[in-house]
């Protein structure tokens, strides 16, 4: 197999929410395959820590930025900064996410709005800002982070966060719709729908229901980061040049 299909040398990847969790794992995977890395989130310290780690371990450029993905002016400013620093954005990973655990009948409106603003509006705003640059140069790879929560309804004792689930279902359709619209410009748009991985966001769920989740999973285990990294590399490189509008669940069969 031609290994250059997975080579990201000379590419620049912008990863939102890349300071920790799955975003950090993806950032490291891209750096390992030669991409320069731009990471943004509302907390600069997390991003800078990841940038320092990447620069010490890999021979790539990496920079951290502060960005509230739900604020259009902030998004545009951040994208312009990245373009000024790197000259291009070839890969965008919309990973920033928020959740709020509560029964649907008690969910505060402000909680619902916060989750959708970060997860859905943030993905739209960042895709729009970076997409204009990608369309202009006729090339781009957009990777949206969805969730198996957007593929199936979990029982309340496993996941009781209707805003989060709804937002991830929206991301999956957004991915397909945008892929259809931007295919003619040389921009592919795909999504990864992770199952249950050990992250800061899932910590409380796994502490409460981890054993049950593993028992119900066809593979009887939680997610491993290597599977996530491999799928991200596939979507980011030339190997996926004929793949667009797809949502791949990395969940050990949990969404079946």
Per-residue pLDDT band for 95 (boundaries 50, 70, 90) equals very high
Q: How does the average pLDDT of the chain come out, rounded?
A: 92
Residue 256 within a domain: no
Residue-wise pLDDT tens digits, 227-248: 889 999 999 999 999 999 999 9
Residue-wise pLDDT tens digits, 14-64: 999 999 889 999 999 999 999 999 999 999 999 999 999 999 999 999 999
Residue 62 within a domain: yes
CATH classification of the domain holding 169:
3.40.50.720
Listed in sequence order, the residues at least 6 apart from 203 whose beta carbon sits closer than 8 Å to its beta carbon are none
Going by C-alpha positions, the residue among 232, 190, 179 that lies closest to residue 6 is 232
Measured CA to CA, the distance from residue 176 to residue 250 in angstroms comes to 18
Going by C-alpha positions, the residue among 236, 119, 214, 223 that lies closest to residue 172 is 119
Residue-wise pLDDT tens digits, 134-167: 999 999 999 999 999 999 888 787 788 999 999 9
Boundaries of domain holding 22: 9-250
Strand runs labelled E in the chain:
12-16, 36-41, 62-66, 91-94, 140-145, 187-194, 247-250
Note the pLDDT of residue 2: 72
Number of domains in the chain: 1
**Tokens linked to 22:** 């799955």
Note the pLDDT of residue 128: 98
Please give the positions annotated as active site: 164
Residue 1 within a domain: no
Residue 3 within a domain: no
**Is the entire prediction scored with pTM above 0.75?**
yes
SS3 content of the chain, % helix, strand, coil (to 5): 50, 15, 30
Residue 39 within a domain: yes
């Amino acid at each position: 197999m031609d290994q250059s299909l997975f080579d990201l040398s000379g590419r620049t990847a912008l990863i939102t929410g890349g300071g920790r969790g799955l975003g950090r794992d993806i950032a490291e995977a891209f750096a390992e395959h030669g991409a320069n890395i731009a990471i943004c989130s509302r907390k600069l310290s997390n991003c800078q820590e990841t940038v320092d780690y990447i620069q010490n371990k890999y021979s790539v450029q990496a920079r951290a930025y502060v960005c509230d993905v739900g604020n259009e002016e902030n998004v545009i400013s951040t994208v312009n900064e990245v373009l000024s620093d790197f000259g291009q954005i070839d890969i965008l990973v919309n990973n920033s996410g928020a959740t709020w655990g509560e029964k649907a009948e008690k969910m505060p409106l402000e909680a619902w709005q916060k989750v959708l603003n970060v997860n859905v509006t943030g993905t739209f705003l960042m895709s729009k800002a970076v997409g204009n640059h990608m369309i202009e140069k006729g090339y781009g790879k957009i990777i949206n982070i969805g969730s198996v929560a957007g593929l199936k309804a979990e029982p309340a004792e496993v996941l009781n966060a209707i805003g989060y689930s709804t937002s991830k279902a929206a991301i999956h359709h957004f991915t397909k719709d945008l892929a259809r619209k931007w295919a003619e410009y040389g921009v592919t748009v795909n999504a990864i729908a992770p199952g249950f991985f050990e992250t800061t966001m899932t910590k409380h769920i796994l502490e409460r229901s981890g054993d049950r989740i593993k028992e119900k999973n066809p593979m009887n285990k939680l997610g491993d980061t290597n599977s996530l990294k491999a799928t991200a590399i596939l979507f980011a490189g030339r190997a996926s040049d004929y793949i667009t509008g797809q949502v791949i669940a990395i969940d050990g069969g949990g969404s079946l």
